Amino acid sequence: MDMAGSANVMNADYVAAMGEAVSRLEQDQLTGVIITSAKKTFFAGGDLKTLIQITPDNAVEALESVEEIKAQLRRLEKLGKPVVAAINGAALGGGLEIALACHHRVVLDDDTIKLGLPEVTLGLLPGSGGVTRLVRMLGIQAALPLLTQGTQLRPQRALQAKIVDALASSREDLIAQARAWIAINPGPVQPWDVPGHHVPDFKVGESELYPFLAAAPAFLHKKTRGVFPAPEKILAAAVEGAHVDFDTALKIEGRYFVELAAGQVSKNMITAFWFQLNEINARGSSSRNKVTKLGVLGAGMMGAGIAEVSAKAGISVVLKDVSLEAASRGARDLPGITPTDSDTDLAGCDLIIEAVFENRELKNKVLPAAESAALPDAVIASNTSTLPITGLASAVSDPEKFIGLHFFSPVPKMQLVEIIRGEKTSEETLTRALDYVRQIGKTPIVVNDSRGFYTSRTFGTYVTEAITMLAEGVHPALIENVARKAGMAVGPLAVSDEVTLTLQLKIREQTLADDPSSAGLAEHPAFGVLQQLVDLGRTGKSGGAGFYEYPADGKKFLWPELVTRFTRDEAGVSEQDVHDRLLFIQSLETVRCLDENVLTSVGDANIGSIFGFGFAPWSGGTLQFVNSTGLAAFVERADYLADTYGERFRPSSSLRDRAARGEQY
């Protein structure tokens, strides 16, 4: 397989070429067939530029195209001659589906190779036979996790999972093994084409799997909360397909695939997780600056996390704190990290990242001392989550070398880094920051300076709106449950506990001190609630109590007294209004960030919202949520929320103008 371009893709050219190849194979006198790739990858999967164009209006045509692809693979596996997949590179999605249609699969034993059916991560299901074949190969119970989670396996794990049949030590061995298998298997038949075959763990009418199948939808709904249709359709295609013959199962699978492809959720997820994420990850320079020695100031949770991911990327790390004991606790004996309490050990650092408490005076103290010890051209960065970078840059001798590198907690797990340009940050400094973020395997977004930047500022509206509703008398369980039902990663009250209630109050105090126009914060009802809880000693999870109780021997639960203190039967806020207030407020703040040039890219907004603060992934991000709602409908609903709950929901003139022009973000 050697299609035009850098990868083999399942598009119209593929359909024509595969159709021609299969017809020729059916006519030729041959011993067997080996399918391999001339590219670095085996096969890249479906053409998403084509798939995102599927709508209910052209669904019939799309289904015909899908059926043609499956018919070709069906003819291939019924050729009457052995067909072997010699997998020399990544086989994801359509690539693995081609391999599953072969009688035997050999893969190069190379840990850079991944195999799997990750369509679910883009709101789709494997529509070229992947669901049907995997269920018949492995059984429903073994296939479903791979299908509904989009698991990608290295060759060794793929062999253990029985997705492939053998490993090869080299490209030469790959082809040699394929030829050897063909030589001793002249007339193989797929298991599902043997009369009497049934799915390994399922037999209609007498299956022990029925209790599992009865519980599976509820179990799945607990994870998807009903906002991700793809896992549910995968379950339906797998189970319904198991009840019928193979070819009918293929038809069931194809119809569910087109239904998903024509829906809005897949378009949202493809836009964000494919097109925009790839665009963001492609940013950067050709110079590929490498950080060789990193100094991290502050060995708390954030500093220790930054040190850990950097050391794992091969960077020599010096972790500094006020005492050697504190620095050593943060270093945790991890290789590549040197704990210290002395600035002199920062000599030779080409990057310094400050990760001390959110206190300007403290940051102004540690930054110049570290700068003087590091290399003269070292980049100096702050991990501040809210304080403007331009102001912090005044603490160093050369503000052009100063930049914000905002990590998210826990650092080893969170993929995003928000890079903040100060007013004087140079392009060279930005480029070096981008290269460092890639060096440690994270995804960067780039924003301009502002209090709270993009992520903290927008995420703050989510938390504040929730606490405001609590103050209005809305039941706390309704707030938390609606947030999760909407697809948010964590309920707003739970996440308030995670970041601590005291930190939110400190941020408010710093904002009031720095910005006279923020005087309204002093009387904001949300901060009144926070102050009440803190006065009661309920400072958050780390303090053992906040909006939630944290029993030592059980799961956390909402503090019952929240209801008696705040909840009122006559609050009058519907579930739909709770839902929309939580989501709309974040999208409206994102639009303001775009209007103010804090954000300069729609992709940064969407990926930053999902990866940074857990905005509903099904929506494709804060701006894609506006797009999928429809700008005119979004403006109308936002006006209702503004009229009912306050001017913070009033759409900006830019949003109104864009809606009037019929445009999207």
User: Which residues does the annotation mark as catalytic?
Assistant: 97, 119
Pairwise CA distance, residues 616 & 489, whole Å: 7
Pairwise CA distance, residues 349 & 376, whole Å: 9
**Residue whose tokens read 């530029």:** 49
Q: Are strands 316-320 and 337-340 parallel, antiparallel or unpaired?
A: parallel
**DSSP states of 568-583:** -GGG---HHHHHHHHH
Q: Are strands 115-116 and 316-320 parallel, antiparallel or unpaired?
A: unpaired
Q: Are 352 and 379 in contact (CB under 8 A)?
A: yes
| Helices 59-77, 246-261: crossing angle, 10 deg rounding | 140
* Adjacency order of strands within the sheet including 33-35: 33-35, 83-87, 104-108, 166-168
Q: Are strands 557-558 and 548-549 parallel, antiparallel or unpaired?
A: antiparallel
CB within 8 A of 513, min separation 6: which ones?
A: none
Pairwise CA distance, residues 75 & 534, whole Å: 69
Cα radius of gyration (the chain): 28
Q: Is 33 helix (H, G, I), strand (E, B) or coil?
A: strand
**Residue whose tokens read 């460092």:** 436
Pairwise CA distance, residues 24 & 62, whole Å: 26
Q: If we measure between CA atoms, which residue out of 242, 53, 9 comes closest to residue 147?
A: 242
Pairwise CA distance, residues 385 & 441, whole Å: 20
Neighbours of 60 (CB within 10 A): 9
DSSP letter (8 states) at residue 540: B
Backbone angles phi, psi at 382, to 5 degrees: -120, 140
Q: If we measure between CA atoms, which residue out of 154, 140, 89, 151 comes closest to residue 117?
A: 151
Q: If we measure between CA atoms, which residue out of 438, 432, 439, 457 comes closest to residue 447?
A: 457
DSSP letter (8 states) at residue 650: P
Q: Are 440 and 313 in contact (CB under 8 A)?
A: yes
Neighbours of 556 (CB within 10 A): 15
| CA neighbours closer than 13 Å in the CB half-sphere of residue 309 | 23
Q: What angle do CA 297, 298, 300 make, to 5 degrees?
A: 150
CB within 8 A of 635, min separation 6: which ones?
A: 651, 655, 656, 659
Backbone angles phi, psi at 168, to 5 degrees: -120, 145
DSSP letter (8 states) at residue 602: H
Maximum CA extent, the chain: 85
